[in-house]
Structure 1
């Protein structure tokens, strides 16, 4: 089908949430402003997640999946989604559905002017410890990248595919998507979106990897910023 928008859904051991993911994404696709499909990226799940996304994809042509041989992490899953998507616009949402697929329409209003539109969980429904660790991590990252983003970890984004596919792979990528678009001289914006408590499954990030990971990854970003190759072709023969 002539899809224009692919929603990447990374997942690792999320069997309790996948029925709701199918229901909510199907509901959104029926009212979406452009033709939309979903791409599950199974990050080496050890529960029944792979079996469930196979079933979903077999009964609904708007859903596809890819599956890793082993667990590689969220950044690898997002990057694989970028690589396998074949639409001009690519979205991203977590399989825990703490953000609402309907809010893609909120972000969609800005994508003509910007190259990445990211949600901002203004009224975040997480624990105090989780909120504070994310606040500190975002502050550390922002001081290195100067990307102006208050909530770069928000799992609701739309990005132009030509920018997404030029992002190099490294661990911690998901924390630096706005900064990587800015390295390509693209335009980014954050927009308030709704946020909900997790009602099933287990969170994959904790206090330690929310703080130490972003701090270490910032130095990798600085190295990449210094050595990043950015070019724009202005002419070619056919």
Structure 2
């Protein structure tokens, strides 16, 4: 029996979903089916789980391609709102306490998902961030990413060498308590740490895009990154110093 079929039947019997997988996708119609099959194969031990594809204003039929896949839930933004908005919409719709994310272009191998989930057995861990090894991108993209990560790490002291990796696992409620803003997905380690969570890091593999083209350029990332970086640094400085103690009335 396919893992996805097992997961769908388990949900029909009323079993609680153990894990939600959120896939932000824009113009990934040629990649989404293969990606879902790989997720099914990787997460058999975590059934019942759910897969949520967030179609972020695609013009190539990504949403339609995802809808015909069994057990996949599809959300659609009528116009593109960006990766952070797609992740946020998916997490809002998720039914499980633990959420995993990965990019819709297929460059994040789903076989890495179990290793990302494992550290969350520690209740102090709020986020597990994948860090790409052997990255399969152009030289210019890798250099731009290396420079951006170095500047971010120096300013935020988040202890993460690769925040641009789409492979992440985290606690849903903790994510929803974070301040929401565009491009926040690149600053999740700093934001989770700001709220007192332990951040775990897992080396993950990376591969070339199977079809289609990237939705971002190096210049686009750089321009928005400057503003975002100073904004996140401000948020870290302005964090609350203590939480109120609970008491019985």
TM-score in same-fold range (> 0.5): yes
Q: Is the 8 A contact 1:7 1:91 kept in 2?
A: yes
- 3-state DSSP class of the match of 1:6? strand
Aligned partners of 2:29 and 2:97: how far apart in 1? 30
Aligned partners of 1:129 and 1:5: how far apart in 2? 36
- 3-state DSSP class of the match of 2:215? coil
- Residue 10 (structure 1) aligns with: 24
Structure 2 residue ranges without an equivalent (≥5): 1-10
Q: Count how many residue pairs are aligned between Structure 1 and Structure 2.
A: 233
Structure 1 residue ranges without an equivalent (≥5): none
Q: Deviations over 1:142-187 (max 9, x none)?
A: 1221101000111101001121111221111111011110110101
CA RMSD of aligned residues (A): 1.8
- Residue 95 (structure 2) aligns with: 86
Q: Is the 8 A contact 1:117 1:189 kept in 2?
A: yes
Q: Is the 8 A contact 1:12 1:43 kept in 2?
A: yes
2:201 to 171, 175, 190: 190
- Cα shift at 1:35: 3.1
Aligned partners of 1:231 and 1:32: how far apart in 2? 39
2:45 to 32, 51, 67: 32
Aligned partners of 1:84 and 1:232: how far apart in 2? 28
Aligned CA distance change for structure 1 residues 84 and 229 (closer, same or farther; 3 Å):
farther
Aligned partners of 1:231 and 1:34: how far apart in 2? 38
- 3-state DSSP class of the match of 1:13? coil
Tell me if 1:72 matches 2:72.
no
Aligned CA distance change for structure 1 residues 40 and 225 (closer, same or farther; 3 Å):
same
Greater displacement, 33-42 / 6-15: 33-42
Greater displacement, 224-233 / 37-46: 224-233
1:138 to 136, 149, 162: 149
- Residue 113 (structure 2) aligns with: 104
- Cα shift at 1:94: 0.5
